[in-house]
Amino acid sequence: MALSDLEEILEDAPGGGLPDAYRPASSEDVPEGRACGNCIFFNEERVNEDGEAWCEWWEDYVAAGFYCNAWRGEDDLDTEPYDEEERAPAPKKDQIVGSDKNKPGSASGAGGDIELSEAAETGLRNKVKEHNDQMEEAGKPSYTRATIGQLRAVYRRGAGAFSVSHRPGMTRGGWAMARVNAYLYLLANGKPKREQYVQDNDLLPKDHPKSTRSLQPEQRDVNLTPPSYMRASARRGLEWHREGLSGDGLVDRTLQEARAMAEGNMTADKWVRTAAWIARHLVDMDAPQNMPGDENYPGPGAVAMALWGGGGSTRSARRALQYAEGVVDTIERENEGRNVTGEAKAKLEIRQFEAGGFEVREDGDGFRIEGYAALFESRSENLGGFTETIRRGAFRQSLRARNNIMFYYNHDSNQVLASTRAGTLRLEEDERGLKVSASIAPTSYGRDAKILVERGDVTGFSFSFSMPARGGDEWNSEGTERVLKSVRLFEVSLVGSPAYTGTNGTAVMRGLDKIAHRADVDADALADALLKIENSEDITTDDRQLIDKVLDQLAPEAQIQETVDTLSHDMLALKKKKLQLLMGI
């Protein structure tokens, strides 16, 4: 057997000599038909003078008529990683978090910068060629073709999933390759071998029947990305927490969201809670241990403030509060007219999903449309720095509450197409996702919607939601992946092709970010240096060089006086620190 398709499963092979259990295949305890000679690790292309072949698992020569407990046959290459009966929680030794080679979120899309072993890379490229040749020979549609980027992402995800659960006896590489095989089957056949396998639908080409690549956030004018000084604050808070300075009252959710903030990821809901939390806890910063310069600084209150983006001092907390309140106010203005009131108006989030084909049929004088507004356990595209997965049951409480949920055209409350209260809109969760079935009346905009759907101008659903007070979502340890566990559903809409242009992920230049951009320095590094200054901490040589570079480029000595009124408070603080350094203070 050619080894190029098998080397991927060998990354975790122990190597270093044969085990004590290595014995003749004729031994009584050896299952019939098993021998090194028909094991997938038996490399007949590499034979020694004794006629023994190289074992890729134990990295030693073995006799064809012998056997060990690591034996694997051809069927093991086709293991389906989503067969629940075959899976078991990963033992402690397999529970690895993160990767030395690949950054968090590197497998969030098919274009990620993923680094694999040379053997794995060669094997995946061989699979791409073999699969695409088969698809072309069979005359299959273009969406069945595989790319190396897709398979890298699937392989990387499979290797990560191994740390959670896998079939006993499998290696990490074997589990990753099994997921690749499952993906190729899905790609070629338009549906998975087992319905549970939906985790990689976001990697499928957009015109594939199971693709979810058009799941997108709403387009907003407001930028939800936290500014650099809040990201730096979260990083400092996490560092203090690791040093044991956070006290006993800290909850896991605060840490999860601080990691997300450090990565530049915040939701509308988090902005609302941030504004409220900082306003409520500003008074805590008056305690001596929460004041920079105090011998007991930072106290638990300062650590908590840093984790919420407040910087760890009264001044920086007020700055973060002002910014958060501005974001919340803008969100509320954007959500005017969406039939949402109260606090939910500011917390409203919207997701768009290109359905990949509606089911449309005549229904009396009008028409009925069916499809899915959301798919479960399927990772979204990049939503502005993070990806998102909707867990099964996320809409259950909203549907049980029997609140009136409206069906609009393009989120316009003046263009009602159906409603649950009138019985013209039916929403239900099934194994796949949130299923929508709506009877559309022949109103003027109802007829317009039907024509646009039939012409292909309207291609998807969108839904708006907010998070409950607690337990609605969770973030991974790196702050790059969010899981929606329970949401409050407000309305569903028919929408045209999602027009998201990356607004959430594109930083609007402001304040410190603008200074860093003009000076061509890293905004986060500059924010970290500034935070140390605000907290009366020592700065490093690198910090000092960075500050000098910014000042030299943006405020030459000859121009300091004329620029003093135009530079931000952040720059004035930097200048003050520079003078202190020069004076030896």
Query: Which three-class secondary structure string do you get for 264-283?
Result: CCCCHHHHHHHHHHHHHHHH
Quick one: which of 524, 526, 512, 542 has its CA closest to 231?
524
| Confidence (pLDDT) at 304 | 93
Residue 199 CA to residue 178 CA, distance in Å, equals 14
- Cα–Cα distances in angstroms (integers) from residue 555 to residues 477, 524, 540, 576, in the given order: 40, 20, 22, 13
- Cα–Cα distances in angstroms (integers) from residue 139 to residues 130, 132, 135, 188, in the given order: 14, 10, 6, 11
Quick one: which of 495, 217, 509 has its CA closest to 382?
217
Residue 173 CA to residue 7 CA, distance in Å, equals 8
Cα–chain center distance at 91? 25
The per-residue b/e assignment along 25-44, b for 16 or more CB within 10 angstroms, e otherwise, is beeeebeeebbbeebbbbbe
366 contacts: CB under 8 Å, gap ≥ 6 = 439, 440, 441, 442, 446, 450
The H-assigned helical ranges of 475-568 are 511-519, 523-534, 541-554, 560-563
Place of tokens 């998807």: 460
SS3 (DSSP) at 304: helix
What are the tokens at 136? 């072309």
Residue 173 CA to residue 178 CA, distance in Å, equals 9
- Cα–Cα distances in angstroms (integers) from residue 249 to residues 254, 300, 301, 411, in the given order: 11, 9, 10, 41
The H-assigned helical ranges of 205-355 are 228-242, 252-262, 268-281, 300-307, 314-334, 344-347
Residue 274 CA to residue 289 CA, distance in Å, equals 22
Note the maximum CA span of the chain.
92
360 contacts: CB under 8 Å, gap ≥ 6 = 367, 368, 369, 370, 450, 453, 454
Q: Is the pTM of this model over 0.85?
A: no
Strands 66-67 and 481-484: unpaired
Quick one: which of 552, 526, 520, 557 has its CA closest to 539?
526
User: CATH homologous superfamily of domain 3-76?
Assistant: High potential iron-sulphur protein (4.10.490.10)
Identify whether the C-beta of residue 315 lies closer than 8 Å to the C-beta of residue 305.
Answer: no
Quick one: which of 169, 175, 137 has its CA closest to 156?
175
| Strand partners of residue 369 | 360, 438
Backbone angles phi, psi at 158, to 5 degrees: -60, -40
| Confidence (pLDDT) at 351 | 79
Q: Could you report the per-residue pLDDT of 311-333, keeping only the tens digit for each?
A: 888 888 888 888 888 888 777 77
- Domains of the chain, by residue range, sit at 3-76, 79-211, 345-496, 511-583
The total of other beta-carbon atoms located within 10 Å of residue 90's CB is 18
Positions in the chain whose pLDDT score sits under 70 = 1-17, 45, 74-114, 163-170, 195-196, 212-222, 334-347, 354-358, 382, 384-385, 457, 469, 496-514, 517, 534-536, 554-585
Quick one: which of 331, 322, 279 has its CA closest to 466?
331
